[in-house]
Amino acid sequence: MTRTARAAVCRDWNQPIGVETIQVEPPRRDEVTIRLHACGVCHSDLSAATGVIAFPPPLVLGHEGAGEVVAVGEGVEDFQAGDRVITSFVSMCGTCRYCNAGRPVLCETVNSALTTLPDGTVRTHDGDGNALNVFSGCGVMAEYATLHVNNVVPVTDDVPMDRAALVGCAVMTGVGAVFNTAQLEPGSTAVVFGAGGVGLNVIQGCRIAGARQIVAVDMSEDKLETARQFGATDTVLADDKAPKAVRKLTGGADYAFECVGRGAVAEQAYACLGKGGTVIIVGVAPRDDMTRINTLSLPAQERGIRGSWFGSARPRYDFPRLFGLYAGGQLLLDELVSQRYTIEEAPRAFADMEAGRNARGVILFE
């Protein structure tokens, strides 16, 4: 059956985000419909609403959801109604060379479908029957959503839904950037630019991986305070002199993580590195943004620069690992949720994020 859902929708770039009633079609082959319990508010949703991420509107926002399966389509064998799941915003075919290489975030078969389901169509329509795009195969800032079965991952009963949701983007992206992409060695030094929802998870990823020094850089004193709670050993207020301060503290960092989404910050991160150091770019910059680095310093000092998408996730392998770390008390999830909102309050949740008020804001559905 088609379901009616309240959803956060971007109607046009740089217009206020609206909450409207949408129609969600039942699952087709290899799809599931879920009833959302929680959805985190990520800076990438805001970037899509402002056109920094150029997803064409109208667009149902949300890619960090947790909920329960309410209907399964033909061919779905691993899930049934009542199962608890988290969403994964990376569409993967499971058979291409990248999926086979354990790098589904690079899947070349279906990942080009960034605002539809993997087959290029959508299950979402507005009140007038017009199709609505969905954020990265998800669109889960809504009471219901129909997704491809490869975009959901099971979660056990012991993790509350508002915390489980965050694993679907911020936690996987941040901790994965450390574990999977950087493969940070114990005893390393690291600097993290941007201590928001993603950066805080890079910081705790560095702590869990055994970094001996973790410097957080942010423009907000409050964020730096939270960064210490997540494992930062030192903090530096963001300005032009930040790289000099970080070099003084670390003697030149082994790893520098950019979690803001600006070439200028990537350059600062690069300037923090010691010999042999690597910058990991996590922030999503506008399309025309450029980063300038001194070419000779790459070979002469064996420095590196690389990107990390969704923490190089293998969702069904990595999500359970993360929940194990939460159960063991190493991964902080409770502390990440700084504010809870209803779906009607979604516009305020975005305003609060923009104003830097939240570690992570989470929408809770009744």
Write out the residues near ligand NAD by the rule CB under 6 A.
Answer: 42-44, 47, 169, 173, 193-199, 217-220, 223, 238, 259-261, 265, 282-284, 308-310, 353, 356
Whichever of 27 and 283 has its CB closer to ligand NAD, that residue is: 283
**E runs forming strands in 118-211:** 124-125, 133-134, 144-148, 152-154, 189-193
Cβ 46 to ligand NAD, closest distance in Å? Answer: 7
Which of ligand NAD, Zn ion, none interacts with 199 (beta carbon under 5 to 8 A by kind)?
ligand NAD
- Distance between CA atoms of 258 and 242, rounded to whole angstroms? 13
Whichever of 24 and 245 has its CB closer to ligand NAD, that residue is: 245
Edge-to-edge order in the sheet of strand 3-10: 124-125, 18-24, 3-10, 59-60, 133-134
Cβ 236 to Zn ion, closest distance in Å? Answer: 25
- Distance between CA atoms of 84 and 362, rounded to whole angstroms? 18
Q: Which residue has the tokens 């599931």?
A: 32
111 is written with which tokens? 């990942």
Burial 81-92 (b: 16+ CB within 10 A, else e): eebbbbbbbbbb
What stretch of H or E contains 53? none
Which of Zn ion, ligand NAD, none interacts with 309 (beta carbon under 5 to 8 A by kind)?
ligand NAD
Cβ 49 to Zn ion, closest distance in Å? Answer: 13
Distance of CA 217 to CAs 141, 226, 233, 234, 290, Å? Answer: 30, 12, 11, 9, 21
Whichever of 145 and 353 has its CB closer to ligand NAD, that residue is: 353
Cβ 168 to Zn ion, closest distance in Å? Answer: 8
Q: Please tell me whether residue 192 binds Zn ion under the rule CB under 5 A.
A: no
Strand partners, 213: 189
Q: Strand 189-193 vs strand 213-218: parallel, antiparallel, or unpaired?
A: parallel
Q: Which stretch, 19-27, 42-50, 115-123, 209-217, contacts Zn ion (CB under 5 A)? A: 42-50
Whichever of 43 and 303 has its CB closer to ligand NAD, that residue is: 43
Cβ 222 to ligand NAD, closest distance in Å? Answer: 9
Which of ligand NAD, Zn ion, none interacts with 123 (beta carbon under 5 to 8 A by kind)?
none
Whichever of 31 and 234 has its CB closer to ligand NAD, that residue is: 234
Whichever of 67 and 196 has its CB closer to ligand NAD, that residue is: 196
Whichever of 219 and 249 has its CB closer to ligand NAD, that residue is: 219
Cβ 264 to ligand NAD, closest distance in Å? Answer: 7
Residue number with the shortest CB distance to ligand NAD? 196
Q: Concatenated DSSP letters for 4-41? A: EEEEEEE-STTSPPEEEEEEEPPP-TTEEEEEEEEEEE
Contacts of Zn ion in 155-174 (CB under 5 A): 169
Q: What are phi and psi of 242, to 5 degrees?
A: -55, -45
239 is written with which tokens? 């300005």
Q: Please tell me whether residue 42 binds Zn ion under the rule CB under 5 A.
A: yes
Cβ 172 to ligand NAD, closest distance in Å? Answer: 8
87 is written with which tokens? 């969403």
Whichever of 10 and 71 has its CB closer to ligand NAD, that residue is: 10
Count of H helices and E strands in the chain?
A: 11, 18
| Interface residue list for Zn ion (CB under 5 A) | 42, 44, 169
